[in-house]
Amino acid sequence: MDKDRIAGSAKDFAGKVEGAVGSMTGDAKTQAEGRAREAAGTVQNLYGQAKDAARDATDAAATYAKDAVDTFKDAYDNSGDTIRDGQKAMAKTVQDNPLGALLVAGGIGFALALLMTRQPRRPPPSRWRYYG
């Protein structure tokens, strides 16, 4: 809790008391001063609340960023294990079924060869010729 909120609440309360005393005694000046002090206390309390909200939002953003960095760091640290596990699984699959692996590799090579040797597309001939 911000010190502005505490001071604002105290001024607000003092202003209410001063305004009530002014109302009971019939003194318009004391009553007006009480209302002014109450308004100043309310404004100071709202200022303190805004500072608290900004501080909370900053803290939440910093915590979120720290958590995101920790998550990415963990993923980076474990990426080598994941790649090694995938390599082991691939090697085991190839050892278990060498003919299937050979056919898959051949199919991929054939598809890449077709993509790389394909003739480039030519635009369709234009119907209208411009002689200018």
Tens digits of residue pLDDT in 4-63: 778 888 888 888 888 888 888 888 888 888 888 888 888 888 888 888 888 888 988 888
For residue 43, is it within any domain? yes
Three-point CA angle 111, 116, 122, nearest 5°: 120
How many domains does the chain divide into? 1
pLDDT in tens, 63-86: 888 888 888 888 777 777 878 888
- Token digits of residue 96: 């278990």
Classify residue 100: in a domain, yes or no: yes
The verdict on residue 126 lying in a domain is no
Is 132 domain-assigned? no
Q: What's the pLDDT score for residue 71?
A: 84
Percent of the chain with pLDDT over 70: 92
Residue 55 lies in a domain: yes
Q: Does 112 map to a domain? A: yes
Task: Tell me, yes or no, whether 127 lies in a domain.
Answer: no
Neighbour count for residue 40 (Cβ, 10 Å): 16
Average pLDDT over residues 106-128: 82
Q: How many CB atoms lie within 10 A of CB 45?
A: 20
Any domain includes 62:
yes
Residue 38: domain span:
3-117
